[in-house]
Structure 1
């Protein structure tokens, strides 16, 4: 199996995401591979993404624009926490269904390793929310490394 030359790291912007990025950076450094950090914003199923958000003294904007702008800001802050990383790091926000957007990004970007976090949900929460990591593992064109995310306070 060839050595990874481009690594995709999808993050959910949870508190544990920094640990996932730092873990992925160890692989990137060992393989001298750049990392593409992405966050996928999935439009809510029961709210139109073009629904306008407004408040007094503020220009109305679509809920999608507000959410994507907030995600960009949080993702940039996450990337800034590891800006002295030994491997090149790029980041962006993608809009769409999480698993298929990650898979499409990996194929289009010619990534040959995906490092993705899993929260380890079981039972009803997993049934209701599904597992993005499981879908990515099942359908990816390249190897996928899953990393169990956990809160450091536990």
Structure 2
């Protein structure tokens, strides 16, 4: 077993193809999906959101909805955690809590204005993490 294949491994999941690939790579490295921790981070709702105002949406219902959607996409063999707040900070906090040995991070490869406007969760995780971070970049389209 190499240093990359030490459990647990954290994989942030945003439903993109590259995040599904990251989950597959983590399972492939460990050979045991139960030691792969898939993390999905949702933003906090504004008090002006209709669901908040009418008390029809809360953390529990959002967690259940997100968990069900993740299971539909990748199955339920992995450990799934839904968190709320700033994605970069929450991913690192969860990795620290479970003493993760590796974070396999999908990257969308945004640059320029999109990166400035949207920020980069990957950059934040790389800067804040106390364990190695493996960044998977999407394949460039072939000309």
Q: What's the TM-score, normalizing by structure 1?
A: 0.75
Q: How is 1:1-150 mapped onto 2 (pairs within 5 angstroms)?
A: 3=3, 4-29=6-31, 34-43=35-44, 47-48=46-47, 51-53=49-51, 61-62=56-57, 67-80=62-75, 83=77, 89-149=78-138
- Number of positions where the alignment pairs a residue of Structure 1 with one of Structure 2: 138
Supply the distance in 1 between the matched residues of 2:137 and 2:82 (Cα, whole angstroms).
22
Q: Which has the higher helix share?
A: 2
Task: Classify 1:133/1:110 alpha carbon distance in 2 versus 1 (closer, same or farther; 3 Å).
Answer: same
Q: What's the TM-score, normalizing by structure 2?
A: 0.80
Which stretch of the first structure deviates more once superposed, 111-120 or 143-152? 143-152
Q: Which has the higher strand share?
A: 1
Supply the distance in 2 between the matched residues of 1:126 and 1:7 (Cα, whole angstroms).
26
Supply the distance in 2 between the matched residues of 1:53 and 1:32 (Cα, whole angstroms).
35
- Paired residues of 1:8 and 1:115 also in contact (CA < 8 A): yes
Supply the distance in 1 between the matched residues of 2:9 and 2:21 (Cα, whole angstroms).
16
- Paired residues of 2:12 and 2:40 also in contact (CA < 8 A): yes
Q: Which segments of 5 or more consecutive residues in structure 2 lack a partner in the other structure?
A: none
Q: Which segments of 5 or more consecutive residues in structure 1 lack a partner in the other structure?
A: 84-88
